[in-house]
Structure 1
Amino acid sequence: MSDVVRTEYADGIAVITLDRPEARNAVTRAVSEGVAAALDELDARDDLAVGIITGAGGTFCAGMDLKGFLAGERPGIEGRGFAGITEAPPRKPLIAAVEGYALAGGCEVVLACDLVVAAENARFGLPEVKRGLVAAAGGLLRLPQRVPYQVAMELALTGGFLPAPKAHAYGLVNRLTAPGGALSGALELAREVAANGPLAVQVSKQVIAGAPAWPAGEAADRQRALVEPVFASQDAKEGARAFAEKRPPRWTGR
């Protein structure tokens, strides 16, 4: 287990916690390696259906560790990106549970997740321009897909903050909670996801995430290639059987 990233597993859910509260969970190379390892385990284990990433000490993540940057450290991992996630999100769904600030690279980690639960007093932002830097870990690419163009442009050019209620109104945040309740809210959402057929969940994520880049004339064929194995799976038969027998399904992931 990493000294700066904690992982806990229960009920099909992996909780990954950035654990540098004294530095507002700023990302170092060690943090990136710890997150990458945790995401690999999430994808590899059949008993895990969904992950949650959060931060210790009331802050999600303040971005890159600038002291490490000045010392010549770059916290990205080749092929994985910043924090071990921004270029290669996991195959299984990942929920960001946000308290406090999700800034710079921390906001980019949130944007690499599939679902977001945030405390009402949380704040998001890409303040890199204030430090002469650029939000190059996916922020400039993903933010305009999640909020209106002008909002994304203002955040990127001014380095200002986006309060969680506004982020929720724009659709960036799925669910708001009272301060201190983001992880509990994320666990509730994760349990709803984990109750469903794992193959169906993973393929649904794959289609939604991949479809915007598919050529229009190929979209139906590409989707068909992904979903047909799900319809032919044991889980599909189990889902129908459980419905007919009025009982909870027993998924096997096969």
Structure 2
Amino acid sequence: MGLLSICRPERRNALNLRVKRAIVEHLQRLGADAAVRAVVITGSDGYFVAGTDIAEMEHMSPTDHVLGATDEVFHVIRRSSKPVIAAVEGYALGGGCELALACDIVIAAEDARFGQPEIRVGIMPGAGGTQHLLRAAGRYKTLLWSLTGDMIPAREAYLANLVSELVPKGEALTRAMAIAEQIAGMPPLAVQSIRDAVRWGGDAPLESALAIERRLFERLFDSRDQKEGMRAFLEKRAPAYQGR
């Protein structure tokens, strides 16, 4: 398992370009490590990520955003070959909310707060906020939250399908690591295929999505892990998966 902790306490872990680039570098390194089968992203000092650094962003031009690839970190998470789990304590606002929603699984403490408050500083979400909210919570909740900039309590976020599981305060990381460990024990090719089916199929028409799922299912029958998993089941022993 890999653990990536964002530590910028003086700014409540707000994302600036340096932090974003560091996250990208670490995610790429963890993605290339065959021994790492799941990644957990968390914050520090009671915060996940309180937003993007407004002081840095205030004077940026459209060209600065393009040249600085300010949204690259979110694409890297979505394209990751390993499951990425967000462990959220405290605030996950603006870019922090988008960072969490780019992950595959979101574990949140009961006192966590989500939100897209960009409208309150004259802009809008620009790294997936409106689109992830729309696909999870629907049009009306998305517009309510994005147009008011109000914070979303963790339980409301859970009921709106933005959060996978709620845990008591202070236990998000422990639970996320336990889930990562459980996933790490699963056959890697099947894990990746399930993620691909959900991500590719989520925006496709049903018949196309079913075809995607079926092809991924059939391909797994060429894997050693499929043979090992079924043989171990029949022999009543623990499987030894190799990711092949």
Same fold (TM over 0.5): yes
Question: Is it true that 1:108 corresponds to 2:98 in the alignment?
Answer: yes
Question: Residue 253 of structure 1 corresponds to which residue in structure 2?
Answer: 243
Question: Is it true that 1:66 corresponds to 2:68 in the alignment?
Answer: no
Give distance in 1, aligned partners of 2:19 and 2:148: 28
Q: How does 1:209-248 map to 2 (within 5 A)?
A: 209-248=199-238
Residues 61/195 of structure 1: CA separation in 2 closer, same or farther (3 Å cut):
same
Question: Is it true that 1:85 corresponds to 2:74 in the alignment?
Answer: yes
Give distance in 2, aligned partners of 1:15 and 1:39: 10
Asked if structure 2 preserves the Cα contact closer than 8 Å seen for 1:80 and 1:88, the reply is no
Asked if structure 2 preserves the Cα contact closer than 8 Å seen for 1:77 and 1:84, the reply is no
Q: Once the 2 structures are TM-superposed, how far is the Cα of residue 155 of structure 1 from its aligned partner?
A: 0.4
Asked if structure 1 preserves the Cα contact closer than 8 Å seen for 2:27 and 2:77, the reply is no
Question: Residue 112 of structure 2 corresponds to which residue in structure 1?
Answer: 122
Q: Once the 2 structures are TM-superposed, how far is the Cα of residue 218 of structure 1 from its aligned partner?
A: 3.5
Secondary structure at 2:127's aligned position in 1? Answer: coil
Q: Once the 2 structures are TM-superposed, how far is the Cα of residue 42 of structure 1 from its aligned partner?
A: 2.5
Asked if structure 1 preserves the Cα contact closer than 8 Å seen for 2:74 and 2:127, the reply is no
The answer to which of 70-79 and 228-237 deviates more is 70-79
Give distance in 2, aligned partners of 1:57 and 1:211: 37
Asked if structure 1 preserves the Cα contact closer than 8 Å seen for 2:193 and 2:216, the reply is yes
Give distance in 2, aligned partners of 1:212 and 1:231: 24
Asked if structure 2 preserves the Cα contact closer than 8 Å seen for 1:32 and 1:77, the reply is no
Question: Residue 204 of structure 1 corresponds to which residue in structure 2?
Answer: 194
Question: Is it true that 1:135 corresponds to 2:125 in the alignment?
Answer: yes
Q: Once the 2 structures are TM-superposed, how far is the Cα of residue 84 of structure 1 from its aligned partner?
A: 1.1
Asked if structure 2 preserves the Cα contact closer than 8 Å seen for 1:128 and 1:159, the reply is yes
The answer to which of 243-252 and 201-210 deviates more is 243-252
Residues 77/231 of structure 1: CA separation in 2 closer, same or farther (3 Å cut):
farther
Q: Which AA in structure 1 matches 2:150?
A: G
**Structure 2: which 5+ runs fail to align?**
none
Give distance in 1, aligned partners of 2:186 and 2:109: 26
The answer to which of 236-245 and 83-92 deviates more is 83-92
Calculate the aligned-residue CA RMSD, in Å: 2.2
Residues 72/118 of structure 1: CA separation in 2 closer, same or farther (3 Å cut):
same
Q: Once the 2 structures are TM-superposed, how far is the Cα of residue 48 of structure 1 from its aligned partner?
A: 1.1
**Structure 1: which 5+ runs fail to align?**
1-12
Question: Residue 18 of structure 2 corresponds to which residue in structure 1?
Answer: 30
Q: Which AA in structure 2 matches 1:100?
A: G
Q: Once the 2 structures are TM-superposed, how far is the Cα of residue 104 of structure 1 from its aligned partner?
A: 0.4
Residues 78/195 of structure 1: CA separation in 2 closer, same or farther (3 Å cut):
farther
Question: Residue 43 of structure 1 corresponds to which residue in structure 2?
Answer: 31
Secondary structure at 1:52's aligned position in 2? Answer: strand
Q: Once the 2 structures are TM-superposed, how far is the Cα of residue 140 of structure 1 from its aligned partner?
A: 0.7
Question: Is it true that 1:149 corresponds to 2:139 in the alignment?
Answer: yes
Secondary structure at 2:21's aligned position in 1? Answer: helix
Give distance in 1, aligned partners of 2:242 and 2:94: 39
Which has a greater percent of helix? Answer: 2
Q: Once the 2 structures are TM-superposed, how far is the Cα of residue 220 of structure 1 from its aligned partner?
A: 3.8
Q: Deviations over 1:192-215 (max 9, x none)?
A: 211211100111001101113335
Aligned residues: 242
Give distance in 1, aligned partners of 2:69 and 2:214: 28
State, as a whole percentage, how many aligned pairs show the same letter. Answer: 38
Question: Residue 15 of structure 1 corresponds to which residue in structure 2?
Answer: 3
Question: Residue 171 of structure 1 corresponds to which residue in structure 2?
Answer: 161
Secondary structure at 2:40's aligned position in 1? Answer: strand
Asked if structure 2 preserves the Cα contact closer than 8 Å seen for 1:29 and 1:76, the reply is no
